[in-house]
Amino acid sequence: MKVWNATREIWLASQVEVADRFVRRLVGLLGRKSLPPEHGLLITRCDSIHTIGMRFPIDVVFVDQDARVVKAIESLRPFRVVFPVWHAVAVLELPAGTIRRTRTRVGDQLHLFD
């Protein structure tokens, strides 16, 4: 899957895995040493996350049912918890620095492509 920020006219990621099943959503990025540039993980049916057990910081973008950004967190460090985000239905986890590089902000419209 690819993710395009239509508001900023820039790609957020060109290789996004989808975590849409219980075990995949539970594991997320745990066990990985890094998240390469242009990669990401989209966790569906999700409005909160944790980075407990992770080894690296990530950028996190929460989106609503229309794929509009409702919260963006830059460089979320390991061993942190993000409590439920109002209206979020999915979370896009990206390499640290992606939000800054793409200027992604709350209200931006994202498009998801297979």
Give bridge partners of residue 21 from the DSSP assignment.
Answer: none
Per-position DSSP letters for 24-89, written without gaps between them: HHHHTTTT-S---TTEEEEEES-S-EE-TT-SS-EEEEEE-TTSBEEEEEEEEPSS-EE---TT--
In words, the CATH class of domain 2-113 is mainly beta
> Could you tell me the two tokens for 109?
């419209």
If pLDDT is split at 50, 70 and 90, which confidence band does 23 have? Answer: confident
The residue that leads in pLDDT, 30 or 21, is 21
Query: Which pLDDT score is estimated for 25?
Result: 80
Q: What is the pTM of this model?
A: 0.94
CA angle (36, 66, 1) in 5-degree steps? 30
If pLDDT is split at 50, 70 and 90, which confidence band does 106 have? Answer: very high
Q: Is the pLDDT of residue 66 over 80?
A: yes
